[in-house]
Amino acid sequence: MKLIKNYQSPNFNNRKRGKPVYIIIHYTALKNYKEALLYLCDKRKKVSSHFLINQNGYIYNLVNLNKRAWHAGTSYWEGNRDINSMSIGIELDFSSNKDNNNFSKKMIKSLIIILKKLKKKYKIKSQNILAHSDIAPLRKKDPGVKFPWKKLNKNNLVYYPNEKIRFNVKLIKKWFTKNKLVTRKKMCLFMLGVIGYNTIDINSNYSYGKLVRAYQMHYLQSNMSGKFDEITLKFMIKHFLNILLTKN
């Protein structure tokens, strides 16, 4: 891993909370890392991240980890809305419609190394390593459907529900009905709210679809329907039960 500190972004301020508890993964959506560095270090753009990792695996440290980088924007997780104050932002040199349209092996190798170091240093929980689309599902879709969450999970870095957990779907649905969650949409929003997503601002079928798709981009990349179908229902129940069984 090569850590480069030659580029420093002026776009930061003081954290309003203590040490970071989240890591947010982004992609740049720009044609290369050089353009991304200029963008993230431009005072006029008012955007930054703590790190940028390019296709060759070089890691650029743009903002001191003690400072509040401006990467999350309007966001939400577990009731928190100032995610910038609570997180570390990592940008990846990737764009779905340009030459840098893959997450290279070198890039992911460097990402794995730095995630291990950050998790250990700040005692960050695996379930708190999130996509930009998790915390801002109505605005963002990065790091996208190609991002290798399962590879990070195999390295014990991120959270993935235990798929071996057994449950009775009919019994779970009966419990939902008993608690006045009588439609699939209400079931879905309730579970996503427990997981951490912002369900408060979901006020239309369009925003509901965006939220479901954001969940699928992270956990069900093989089923990107944008609909709360049977596959998503069964998987989300597993996720929901995992969260309930492991909460402190």
Q: How many domains does the chain have?
A: 2
Residue 161 inside a domain? The answer is no
Residue 34 within any structural domain of the chain:
yes
Are residues 55 and 84 part of one domain?
yes
Mark whether 239 and 124 lie in a shared domain. Answer: no
Convert the pLDDT of each residue in 182-221 to its tens digit. Answer: 899 999 999 999 999 999 999 999 999 999 999 999 999 9
160 domain-assigned: no
Do 116 and 15 belong to one domain? yes
Q: 64 and 182 share a domain? A: no
Q: Would residue 163 count as lying in a domain?
A: no
- Asked if the structure places residue 164 within a domain, the reply is no
**Segments forming the whole domain that contains residue 21:** 2-154
Q: Is residue 162 part of a domain?
A: no
- Domain boundary, last residue among 121, 154, 187: 154
Could you tell me if residue 185 is inside a domain?
Answer: yes
Q: Which of 35, 78, 91, 163 is catalytic?
A: 91
Whether residue 91 lies in the annotated active site: yes
SS (H, E, C) the chain: CEEECCCCCCCEEECCCCCCCEEEEEECCCCCHHHHHHHHCCCCCCCCCCEEECCCCEEEECCCCCEEECCCCCCCECCECCHHHHEEEEEECCCCCCCCCCCCHHHHHHHHHHHHHHHHHHCCCHHHEEEHHHHCCCCCCCCCCCCCHHHHHHCCCCCCCCCCCCCCHHHHHHHHHHCCCCCHHHHHHHHHHHHCCCCCCCCCHHHHHHHHHHHHHHHCCCCCCCCCCHHHHHHHHHHHHHHHHHCC
Q: Record the pTM.
A: 0.96
Q: Do 85 and 184 belong together in one domain?
A: no
Per-residue pLDDT of the chain (248 residues; tens, 9 = 90+): 678 999 999 999 999 988 999 999 999 999 999 999 999 999 999 999 999 999 999 999 999 999 999 999 999 999 999 999 999 999 999 999 999 999 999 999 999 999 999 999 999 999 999 999 999 999 999 999 999 999 999 999 999 987 777 777 788 888 888 989 989 999 999 999 999 999 999 999 999 999 999 999 999 999 999 999 999 999 999 999 888 877 65
| Residues 173 and 67 placed together within one structural domain of the fold | no
Which of 122, 154, 186 finishes a domain?
154
